[in-house]
């Protein structure tokens, strides 16, 4: 069977190439090293790439161009860098990357490539329509990809007037609008609802403006405000929570968006993989990664909310989601884990951090 193909885009030195190429080969991928996004698009038109690897330093230019390029909309994009921590993951997700790997170790890349589906996938738009209204082309591309992969049929708008017109379409289920539009969010929402719109609304804005926009939108049902610099998948979380409030109200503890790097390994193993938390509860968490562990019992190490003290916990993997288009997806690729054990001090620190975070969020 023919190997799949990995496109590595950026300026990789000979040592890095000596790690990456054999790592890809272990997962039955051939590797092509290219310098620019333009070269990658031209290469893809002839041969078709099955995965992308972008050097972290070139993420703002080459990575952004690749993610906004239509031919790569359904191609997973890995980012390779030295900082496999909170800042590295935040940058990866901001530009539409799917996971972060170090450039000096082979195993993380091999594990993630092995987990990718071999066959091309297609998904029906079973969730209905979604509107992404944002003047920033990069933001539109990243949000649109996340929503398409979750089963929405996506329409784009770049002005408040366009958003107003599209928001009254009868099949619209979700509208994600930027506060940077030339129309105030509350005005846009109220006008759309007077025209018959009944969808969920999510307003994105810079972190410093979150409080102001929440106050301005107070009293409107099925409306949330989200950090526009946070991972685009956070929008999917908010829309799912608003669409299933009865289920959310029956949980023992609320699920809260919380992102931090987390080391995980099968219990008794020697080396941690690194992922990034997506949401947490008092009893567990969901970890973003393209390579969920095969083991059921795992060890986790991370910082609880409102704490700089790392804790080591024992968890039981409850479910896994591999990479792929899925109209029933409520989370990005990764795994959900239930906390079942750990040192008493660590479990207490986790509970205290969760409680403080939940209280702060109201």
If you ran DSSP here, which 8-state letter would residue 28 be given?
T
Pick out the chain residues at pLDDT < 50. none
Q: Is 298 helix (H, G, I), strand (E, B) or coil?
A: strand
pLDDT in tens, 234-254: 999 999 888 776 555 556 688
Closest listed residue to residue 164, CA positions, set 197, 130, 202: 197
Domains of the chain plus CATH, in order, are: 4-115 (3.40.50.2300), 129-249 (3.40.50.2300), 256-361 (2.40.10.220)
Could you give the C-alpha distances from 321 to 53, 152, 168, 169, in angstroms and in order?
Answer: 21, 18, 34, 32
Q: Quick one: tokens of 48?
A: 């078709």
Counting Cβ atoms within 10 Å, is residue 19 exposed (0-12), middle (13-18) or buried (19+)? middle
The DSSP element (H or E) to which 45 belongs, if any, is helix 37-47
Torsion of CA 212, 218, 224, 226, to 10 degrees: 10
Mean pLDDT of the residues in the chain: 91
pLDDT in tens, 192-217: 999 888 899 999 999 999 999 999 99
Q: Quick one: tokens of 9?
A: 């885009």
How much is the pLDDT for 283? 94
How much is the pLDDT for 120? 63
Contact call for residues 242 and 224 (beta carbons, < 8 A) = yes
Alpha carbon distance 355, 349 (integer Å): 10
Alpha carbon distance 20, 257 (integer Å): 33
Angle (deg, nearest 10), helices 137-149 and 233-243: 50
């Amino acid at each position: 069977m023919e190997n799949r193909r990995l496109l590595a885009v950026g300026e990789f030195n000979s040592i890095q190439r000596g790690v990456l190429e054999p790592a890809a080969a272990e997962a039955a991928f051939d590797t092509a090293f290219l310098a620019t996004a333009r070269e990658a698009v031209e290469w893809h038109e002839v041969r078709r790439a099955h995965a992308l690897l972008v050097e972290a330093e070139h993420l703002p230019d080459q990575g952004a161009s690749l993610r906004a390029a239509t031919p790569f909309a359904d191609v997973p994009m890995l980012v390779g860098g030295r900082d496999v921590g909170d800042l590295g993951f935040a940058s990866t997700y901001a530009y539409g990357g799917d996971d972060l790997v170090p450039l000096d170790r082979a195993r993380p890349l091999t594990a993630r490539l092995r987990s990718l589906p071999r066959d091309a996938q297609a998904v029906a738009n079973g969730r209905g329509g979604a509107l992404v209204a944002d003047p920033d082309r990069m933001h539109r591309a990243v949000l649109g990809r996340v929503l398409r992969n979750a089963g929405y049929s996506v329409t784009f708008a770049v002005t408040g007037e366009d958003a107003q017109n599209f928001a009254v379409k009868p099949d619209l289920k979700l509208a994600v609008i930027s506060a940077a539009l030339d129309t105030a969010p509350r005005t846009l929402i109220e006008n759309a609802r007077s025209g018959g719109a009944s969808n969920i609304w999510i307003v994105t804005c810079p972190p410093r403006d979150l409080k102001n926009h929440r106050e301005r939108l107070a009293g409107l049902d099925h409306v949330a405000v989200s950090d526009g610099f946070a991972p685009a998948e956070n929008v999917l979380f908010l829309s799912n929570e608003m669409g299933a409030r009865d289920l959310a109200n029956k949980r023992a503890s609320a699920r809260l968006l919380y992102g931090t790097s987390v080391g995980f390994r099968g219990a008794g193993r020697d080396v941690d993989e690194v992922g990034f938390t997506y949401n947490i509860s008092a009893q567990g968490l969901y970890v973003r990664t393209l390579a969920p562990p095969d083991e059921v019992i795992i060890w986790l190490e991370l910082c609880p909310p409102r704490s700089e003290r790392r804790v080591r916990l024992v968890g039981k993997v409850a479910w896994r989601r591999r990479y792929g288009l899925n109209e029933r997806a409520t989370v990005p690729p990764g795994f959900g884990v239930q906390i079942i054990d750990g040192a008493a001090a660590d479990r207490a620190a986790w509970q205290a951090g969760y409680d403080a975070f939940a209280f702060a969020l109201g």
